[in-house]
Amino acid sequence: MPQPTWRPGTWPWLPTTPGAPRLRVIIDNDFAGDPDDLYQVVHHLLSPSVDIRGIICSHLPVHDPWYTDDSADQARRVMERLADVMRLDTTGLLVTGSNDSLASRTEPRRTGAAELIITEALRTDTDVPLVVVCGGGLTDLASAYLMEPSIAGRLLVIWIGGPEHEGLGLRPAGITGPEYNLRIDITAAQVVLNDSPLPLWLVPRNMYRQCLVSDAELRLRVANRGELGAHLYEAIQRVRDLVESKGAGFGETYALGDSPLVLLTALQSYFQPDPSSSDYVVRPCPEVGDDGEFAGGPGGRAVRVYTRVDTRLMFEDMFLKIDELAGWLATA
């Protein structure tokens, strides 16, 4: 097993020392499933403008092909393997979330992941804003809010999830049932969207489906970038094998749908920091029904709903940062 050679928050491959981070970030994702989250977490870890305060390994939906009863624990094992190939020391960084969805809208799952969110939100020794970025379900975030509602005024939530908002996108043909990330834990989504005042930026399904990279890009700009690049590319190849084993064609693209979490935090504008290269509208927060679909909610709090994401900046930055790390690891 390769030994760790760098720590989060250190940048030994960069020619100069970066300035202080602009944001504190807690990453919450279901790393045992779709490998788009592996690309997102690598990209985030390689971005010096954010201070990664913890990585929550969360659970999958029970219907998922990769689902196991301990899918949050499995997510942690996936992250530990990824850290090995990155030569990254993750001491104190990885936290295992709940393996189960919420039982009700009033009962939290008391985990170290929920405690991490609360502890970081309630810190008084820093004025660097806190963002919790979620690329899967919302179990641990909802639990943190239920355990300590005062965190709502002390953090921002960015969620990749939910169906198309009315007038902003069309449901994909052939889709039945709730959007994938929402149905991981419908009850938790109801706590966060319906019941809480948590500030939200939403990247719905029609937006994350636009985050396409081609197989040629992945072959020529990721797969040949050392052990890390091969590991990331092979993760998508396993999805290809699964799809093709069922008789379906894989096509030439893959949606790295969690990558907007990096774009909207680490890649903000230099002056008047904001994700200024992407577009959004401000809408009343939709309500989540028991069926997992969006209902009305004209009285809901105002939330950002992204309507365009800057995929050029997002993916070009990711490719180049992977290249920088791979070059350094080759000589370290």
pLDDT higher than threshold 90 for residue 257: yes
Query: Which tokens in the block code for residue 163?
Result: 């169906």
Pairing of β 200-203 and β 50-57? unpaired
293: helix, coil or strand? coil
Q: Residue 323's pLDDT band (boundaries 50, 70, 90)? A: very high
6: helix, coil or strand? strand
pLDDT higher than threshold 80 for residue 253: yes
Per-residue pLDDT tens digits for 281-311: 999 999 999 999 998 766 789 999 999 999 9
Q: Residue 3's pLDDT band (boundaries 50, 70, 90)? A: low
Q: What is the DSSP string of 194-213?
A: II----EEEE-HHHHTT-EE
**Helix (H) / strand (E) containing 23:** strand 23-29
Q: Which of 21, 44, 222 is nearest to 134 (CA)?
A: 44
311: helix, coil or strand? helix
- Identity of the residue numbered 104: S
- Separation CA 16–CA 172 (nearest Å): 46
Query: What is the pTM (predicted TM-score) of this model?
Result: 0.96
CA neighbours closer than 13 Å in the CB half-sphere of residue 140: 32
Per-residue pLDDT tens digits for 73-125: 999 999 999 999 999 999 999 999 999 999 999 999 999 999 999 999 999 99
Q: Which of 109, 97, 2, 50 is nearest to 273 (CA)?
A: 50
- Separation CA 217–CA 264 (nearest Å): 22
Per-residue pLDDT tens digits for 136-165: 999 999 999 999 999 999 999 999 999 999
Per-residue pLDDT tens digits for 5-26: 899 999 999 999 999 999 999 9
Lowest mean pLDDT among 49-58, 241-250, 310-319: 241-250
Mean pLDDT across the chain, nearest whole number? 95
The residues with which 95 forms a beta bridge, in sequence order, are 56
**Helix (H) / strand (E) containing 214:** strand 212-214
**What phi and psi, each to the nearest 5 degrees, are found at residue 72?**
-70, -40
